[in-house]
Amino acid sequence: MQALYAQLLVGLINGSFYALLSLGLAVIFGMLNIINFAHGALYMMGAFVAYFLLNNDYLSIGYWPALIVAPIVVGIFGMILERTMLQWLTGLDHLYGLLLTFGIALIVQGVFQNYFGSSGLPYAIPDQLKGGMNLGFMFLPVYRGWVVVFSLIVCIATWFLIEKTRLGAYLRAATENPTLVRAFGINVPRMITLTYGLGVGLAALAGVLSAPINQVRPLMGADLIIVVFAVVVIGGMGSIMGSIITGFALGVIEGLTKYFYPEASNTVVFVLMVLVLLVKPTGLTGRAA
Amino acid sequence: MNTRSIASFLLGTALALASTSGAMAQDKTIKVGVLTDNSGLYADLGGPGSTLAAQMAIEDSGLAAKGWKVDLISADHQNKPDIGTAIARQWIDVEKIDVFMDVLNSGVALAVNNVVREKNAILIDTGAATSDLTNAQCSPNTIHWVYDTYMLANSTGQALVKAGGDTWYFLTADYAFGHALERDTAAVVVKSGGKVIGSVKHPLNTADFSSFLLQAQASKAKIIGMANAGGDTTNTIKQAAEFGIVAGGQKLAGLLLFITDVHALGLKVAQGLNFTETFYWDLNDGTRAFSKRFSERMKNKAMPSMVQAGVYSGLIHYFKTLEALGGNPHDGAKVVAKMKEMPTDDPLFGQGTIRADGRKLHPAYLFEVKKPEESKGPWDYYKLIGTTPADQAFRPLSDSACPLVKK
């Protein structure tokens, strides 16, 4: 029984990453109608930016500032992508956005792999979050606890921003009817760019969070992104709350699989996706188009 | 004649010439194929570095000056046996590849082993670990060059049990390699008086090991044996530190670690790990000279892994054999038989021999990873703590199930 609690908690930790990443995807899909396959590559870039900030010849910027700086840097990169490439795809079929972002992901990963190899680079856990506590049923590393709490806060804040604030209302209105919103004097293209930047920033933030746990590797995002897409599909494309809840829930389910039948742990998410698509094609919280 | 018929006439002549030159005994063309993981979790320990090692072997052999023509191609098998065999068939049928190098990933290696045998080409495997390549699955067309699971288990496993690690729990990569490594190590543990408490199998290329580590922790085994490799091993070690596994008194045993893994982990995390390799860049003047040249040509200035060093060493012996034969007969089994007759000698692995079952013999070195303060510079990572002589390092022929071995 104790082991079960431990696996539940571990699942929750992985769920935090799924939630943060699928949240970014949901924001981008919901507001821009783009299936952002570059998300994994941008997550990887977040981790690499954190690494560069710490290990360079000029300044050594640690983990805490990196939590803010890396998402901004990668977010700006994302906004440049949106301005120079993605914006021309507005109104076209989803497939075009998917192919473009997939291509971008391959290029970015290829460039990083060329220079840094596939085994990756080490990034240490910040001193303040080292060590762990004994919960009785398991030894919980402090850093993992921090990841769960922090990503939960970020997820709820993002949900609040989009669903409950005036800015969020503008955003949602701009996706429903851009012409009308523009008539009210709101710069819709700029808002779209900023939204893409926000979604990308969330991916980069997840990258920084994962840097001390996993190796900082060029393919860290490629391995994860497929699972995250499954999470988004199960939760319902474009649903903010749906993707947060599904992210955490699937982390837990995957954790339990690792305990009861470890060999199936990397397929369980996809089995669930198939089941959900059969029963409810719009996803658990999605609305019919 | 119009241009079209001229073209087809020329093509016909070219084909006819190509086929006659293939039949000539004094044919001096060689085609080398490096089949490896160029983009995945094993790309650093083989990958582009293996292709570079092959290139260096071709240059150092001086064959071009003696009128030989050596071609080199490389492909990515993506760690998938089906892709590996498809490339292997195409390479032999269309590209006329003579010798396959590297072929890391035991699953791919066992599959390619069959194709190479069926089509009478040559496989000099320097990357795969499974000891089955020279045991039940041995082939007259295959040489297993660098290391295998039996040797790793024998060296590392025995040393750890002797040092008091008598209860084991395995974290095993769920494919041919992990299964073989766990099987061979468990046998050594039991034989040396230890006990295996349990094991858990994880999918290849897993990012998060915390669930598996918790199960290993709960087993209370003294040694947690990592029967995995590459990115899987580095992630396991890194996360084990996080969960306080080593601090809690359990010891991690890296059953297969490469220098590129230690580099990726950093000495702070990797210090104190014991494991076995058959090559290290800083062993002697010969290895240092080669490694320096190699590293200068690598994009990330990495030192060679034992897999990459094996590609160089294996090719050098292959080229020597062809020179002794006076030409390339394009007959895999014949060349391999000759390779087994000739003793091997190169600056990287020293003097050695190749056994009837295809096993290349050389010493195995037990290393310990240095503490950060002991390291004098980049890539100065290992301390040599034990050597198993060549004749004791690998599975004795008396235990072999290989049909090529006459008993």
Q: Which two tokens stand for residue A147?
A: 């990841």
From CA A57, how far away is CA B319, in angstroms rounded?
A: 46
| Mean pLDDT computed over every residue of chain B | 91
> Does the structure show a pLDDT above 90 at A288?
no
Of A121, A143, A262, the CB nearest to B264: A121
| Mean pLDDT computed over every residue of chain A | 89
**Alpha-carbon separation of residue B117 from A125, B92, B113, B331 (angstroms):** 50, 11, 6, 11
- When comparing pLDDT for A169 and A288, which is higher? A169
From CA B260, how far away is CA B265, in angstroms rounded?
A: 9
| pLDDT score, position B13 | 53
The answer to whether A204 and A49 are in contact (CB under 8 A) is yes
Q: Which two tokens stand for residue A203?
A: 């991916």
Q: Is B102 on the interface with A (CB under 8 A)?
A: no
Note whether A3 contacts B265, CB cutoff 8 Å: no
Q: Is A220 on the interface with B (CB under 8 A)?
A: yes
Whether residue A146 is contained in a domain is answered as yes
> Quick one: which of B49, B56, B36, B46 has its CA closest to B313?
B56
> Does the structure show a pLDDT above 60 at B17?
no
Note whether A138 contacts B234, CB cutoff 8 Å: no
> Does the structure show a pLDDT above 80 at A179?
yes
pTM of the shown model: 0.83
**What distance separates the 2 farthest-apart alpha carbons in chain A?**
61
Flag the least confident range among A58-72, B20-34, B361-375: B20-34
> Quick one: which of B298, B315, B328 has its CA closest to B100?
B315
Number of A/B CB contacts below 8 angstroms equals 117
- Which of A258, A270, A271 best tests the B interface by mutation, with the highest count of B CBs <10 A? A258
A94-116 and A220-235 are packed helices; what angle lies between their axes, rounded to 10 degrees? Answer: 150
Per the listing, tokens 């049923």 go with A137
Residues of A in contact with B369 (CB under 8 A): none
Q: Is A119 on the interface with B (CB under 8 A)?
A: yes
| pLDDT score, position B2 | 57
E-strand spans in chain A?
Answer: 132-134, 139-141
Q: Which two tokens stand for residue B390?
A: 């060549």
| pLDDT score, position B8 | 58
Of B211, B234, B248, the CB nearest to A119: B234
Q: Which residue of A has its CA nearest to B242?
A: A141
CATH number of B162-276+370-393: 3.40.50.2300
pLDDT tens for each residue of B66-120 = 999 999 999 999 999 999 999 999 999 999 999 999 999 999 999 999 999 999 9
Q: Where are the alpha helices (DSSP H) in A165-239?
A: 166-176, 178-183, 188-210, 220-235
| pLDDT score, position B66 | 93
Going B42 to A141 to A208 to A247, the CA torsion angle's sign is positive
Note whether B208 contacts A262, CB cutoff 8 Å: no
Residues of B in contact with A228 (CB under 8 A): none
Region of residue A190 (phi > 0: left; psi between -120 and 50: alpha; otherwise: beta) = alpha
From CA A221, how far away is CA B385, in angstroms rounded?
A: 38
Q: Which two tokens stand for residue B329?
A: 């007969």
Note whether B43 contacts A117, CB cutoff 8 Å: yes
Of A118, A124, A262, the CB nearest to B43: A118
Q: Which residue of A has its CA nearest to B259?
A: A119
pLDDT tens for each residue of A207-244 = 999 999 888 989 889 878 988 999 988 988 778 888 89
Query: Cα distance from A261 to chain B (closest Cα, Å)?
Result: 9
For residue B332, which phi and psi values (nearest 5 degrees)? -55, -50
**What distance separates the 2 farthest-apart alpha carbons in chain B?**
85
In three-state secondary structure terms, A194 is helix
> Does the structure show a pLDDT above 60 at B19?
no
In three-state secondary structure terms, A226 is helix
Q: Which residue of A has its CA nearest to B266?
A: A122
Query: Residue A60: which residues within 8 A CB-CB, separation 6 or more?
Result: A53, A54
- Which of B169, B174, B238 best tests the A interface by mutation, with the highest count of A CBs <10 A? B238
- When comparing pLDDT for B342 and B205, which is higher? B342
Note whether B40 contacts A3, CB cutoff 8 Å: no
Number of domains making up chain A: 1
For residue B366, which phi and psi values (nearest 5 degrees)? -95, 120
Region of residue B301 (phi > 0: left; psi between -120 and 50: alpha; otherwise: beta) = left
> Quick one: which of B255, B253, B178, B171 has its CA closest to B214?
B171
Q: Which amino acid is at B350?
A: G
> Does the structure show a pLDDT above 70 at A289?
no
Average pLDDT over residues B302-308: 96
> Does the structure show a pLDDT above 80 at A287?
no
Q: Which two tokens stand for residue B269?
A: 């995390």
Residues of B in contact with A219 (CB under 8 A): 39-41
Flag the least confident range among A214-218, B5-9, B158-162, B389-393: B5-9
Note whether B300 contacts A116, CB cutoff 8 Å: yes
Query: Residue B362: which residues within 8 A CB-CB, separation 6 or more?
Result: B278, B349, B350, B352, B390, B393
> Quick one: which of B147, B186, B150, B157 has its CA closest to B170?
B186
Query: Which domain covers residue A157, as residue numbers?
Result: 14-221
pLDDT tens for each residue of A145-164 = 999 999 999 999 999 998 89
pLDDT tens for each residue of B247-272 = 888 999 999 999 999 998 889 889 88
E-strand spans in B111-254?
Answer: 122-125, 142-144, 167-173, 195-202, 223-227, 251-254
For residue B388, which phi and psi values (nearest 5 degrees)? -100, 125
Query: Residue B152: which residues within 8 A CB-CB, separation 6 or more?
Result: B129, B181, B184, B185, B255, B256, B275, B276
The answer to whether B335 and B321 are in contact (CB under 8 A) is yes
pLDDT tens for each residue of A113-127 = 888 888 788 888 898
| pLDDT score, position A175 | 79
Rg of chain A, C-alpha, whole Å:
19
Per the listing, tokens 């060493």 go with B313
| pLDDT score, position A33 | 83
From CA A278, how far away is CA A258, in angstroms rounded?
A: 25
**Class of CATH domain B27-147+284-362:** alpha beta
Residues of B in contact with A11 (CB under 8 A): 211
Whether residue A275 is contained in a domain is answered as no
Q: Which two tokens stand for residue B115?
A: 């194709």
Q: Which two tokens stand for residue A243?
A: 């993707």
Q: Is A266 on the interface with B (CB under 8 A)?
A: yes
**Alpha-carbon separation of residue B198 from A44, A262, B221 (angstroms):** 35, 14, 9
| pLDDT score, position B3 | 54
User: What are the structural domain ranges in chain B?
Assistant: 27-147+284-362, 162-276+370-393
> Does the structure show a pLDDT above 90 at A272?
yes
Q: Is B301 on the interface with A (CB under 8 A)?
A: no
Query: Cα distance from A170 to chain B (closest Cα, Å)?
Result: 39
From CA B133, how far away is CA A234, in angstroms rounded?
A: 43
| pLDDT score, position A94 | 85
Of B231, B242, B248, the CB nearest to A217: B231
Judge if B27-147+284-362 and B162-276+370-393 fold alike in CATH terms. Answer: yes
Average pLDDT over residues A71-93: 92
Calculate the CA dihedral of residues B156, B160, B165, B168 and round it to 10 degrees.
0
Query: Cα distance from A94 to chain B (closest Cα, Å)?
Result: 28
From CA A256, how far away is CA B178, in angstroms rounded?
A: 23
Residues of B in contact with A1 (CB under 8 A): none
> Does the structure show a pLDDT above 50 at B1?
no
| pLDDT score, position A47 | 96
| pLDDT score, position B23 | 44
Note whether B41 contacts A118, CB cutoff 8 Å: yes
pLDDT tens for each residue of A1-42 = 677 888 888 889 989 999 999 999 988 988 888 889 999 999
DSSP state of B349: T
Q: Which amino acid is at B120?
A: N
The answer to whether B327 and B25 are in contact (CB under 8 A) is yes
Q: Which neighbouring-strand residues pair with A133?
A: A140
Query: Residue B3: which residues within 8 A CB-CB, separation 6 or more?
Result: none
Query: Cα distance from A118 to chain B (closest Cα, Å)?
Result: 6
Whether residue A71 is contained in a domain is answered as yes
From CA A114, how far away is CA A136, in angstroms rounded?
A: 45
Note whether B264 contacts A215, CB cutoff 8 Å: yes
DSSP notation for A61-119: --HHHHHHHHHHHHHHHHHHHHHHTGGGGTTS-HHHHHHHHHHHHHHHHHHHHHHHTTT
Whether residue A97 is contained in a domain is answered as yes
| pLDDT score, position B20 | 46
Q: Which H or E run includes B274?
A: strand B274-277
From CA B115, how far away is CA A151, in angstroms rounded?
A: 50
pLDDT tens for each residue of B337-372 = 999 999 999 999 999 999 999 999 999 999 999 999
DSSP state of A286: P
**Alpha-carbon separation of residue A274 from A95, A268, A270, A281, A283 (angstroms):** 21, 10, 6, 9, 10
For residue B74, which phi and psi values (nearest 5 degrees)? -140, 150
From CA B51, how far away is CA B297, in angstroms rounded?
A: 11
From CA B276, how far away is CA A34, in angstroms rounded?
A: 49
From CA B45, how far away is CA B105, in angstroms rounded?
A: 11
